[in-house]
Amino acid sequence: MVRFLIGFLAILVLYVPCVAYQVQPSRSVLRKAQASNTAGIFSGQSVSVKLRKRFEKYAKQSGRVSKKMAYFGELGVGSPAQAFSVVFDTGSGNLIVPGSSCESPACRIHSRFNASESSTFRHVMCDGSEIPANAKPDRIRITFGTGYVVGDCFSDQICLGGACSEGMFIASVDESSQPFDSFSFDGILGLSLASLAQSNEFSMIHRMSAKHGMRQPIFSVFLSESDDEESEVTFGAVRRDHMDGELFWVDVVGDSGYWEVQIEDIAIDNKRLGICKDCKVAVDTGTSQLAGPTDLIEKMEDLLGVNYDCSNFHLLPKLGFIVDGRVMNLLPSDYVDQGAGHSCDLSLMSLDVPPPKGPLFVFGIPFLQRFFSVYDSVNSRVGFAVAKHKATASGLLAIAQDIASSHEGNVPPRLPITSDTTRLHLS
């Protein structure tokens, strides 16, 4: 999978000379992008990019093997466009692809950007500024939770379908084997708010909003776990056919750069638990699970009581998050990871972010498969609607004022846990 949390990263810029580029054959280019490489971004249109999903197996500390999921699509970089598969990641801000000078094992198994094959590329400083006279370009190191990328900074044409714009990106010269050599995709396209990018010129979201070239300065995400439905990210429009009901908007809170909204509480079977006051949640397409503070995750594990052998799966309740007066419910099939051999684990992991930025939850792929999401950077808000699947479940959205509180004597019963059940503790 993409990462446990790829968007939550630390950045260090190193001032060292850049190296020469080696010519490397590229994959087949994007046909539409080749035909319109000089076009302005979107030019009043909307663009949808189809997403593919892939499962990656990983071993937990308990010794059990589970799976993570990633969704990725294709974009083009350069003139003519060189094609890359990337995760469309709302939890980070930059476009990162392997560079042709990168000889790390993780780079060699993926497509690499060849600057010598593009007629429009140029070096830039990694803060987005031009390279001063008689100076050498700098280099950036990005440290993830389980690895790192070292890269050079370029400006070139970046194309989604037939829509292109000039933008800045990072071409890696070194990538750690973990986790990058296990990825099926080449890189990451950051779709967070612009403050998480190296500068506005590195931010796809800023370019979409500032140039006012789209039909609407928004993008939306539809994820399906079924092979019978196509997942996609749409820039410039909201695909109403992906919604089962009305869209409601929630303001982004804080200035972290993540798409964060407020959580009022957590509910089980529409019963308020009273355990999450003033919590926030980051909506993150690049995270494979749900995440939250350790103490709350442990409380939720105890209350949900998922048996490792799946023997009580049919008894498990809905898990709800109260946002803007609405309970957004997940089904057991959403928050339980069913592995091989009829094993079950909660698709929850611990993430401890101290105040004032925390406590913080992350709505990852399990949530985004159930709820269609829309991102509006101009008005700093996120929209949600129940995702319309071929087999859409009922009771996924409730009005918070209509649900009971656990403080009124309606505490959900703790489900029995068999003796072989252990809690998830992911690093």
- What is the pairing mode between strands 122-123 and 95-98? unpaired
DSSP assigned state of 109: T
Tell me if the bond preceding 80 is cis, omega within 30° of 0: yes
Q: Judge whether 181 counts as a catalytic residue.
A: no
State the Cα torsion 341-344-350-351 to the nearest 10°.
80
Strand pairing partners for 163?
160
Q: What are phi and psi of 241, to 5 degrees?
A: -70, -10
Contact 365, 285 (CB under 8 A): yes
Among candidate residues 152, 265, 284, 345, the one labeled active-site is: 284
Are 197 and 94 a contacting pair, CB within 8 Å? yes
245 exposure class (CB count in 10 Å sphere: 0-12, 13-18, 19+): middle
* CA–CA distance, 411 with 98 (Å, rounded to integer): 51
Q: Which of 89, 138, 156, 186 is catalytic?
A: 89
156/116 Cα distance (integer angstroms): 12
What is the C-alpha to C-alpha distance for residues 51 and 247, in angstroms, rounded to an integer? 22
Residue 324 designated active-site? no
Which of 244, 243, 273, 246 is CA-nearest to residue 394? Answer: 244
Tokens of 225: 């776990």
Token pair for residue 94? Answer: 């930059």
Which positions are annotated as active-site residues?
Answer: 89, 284
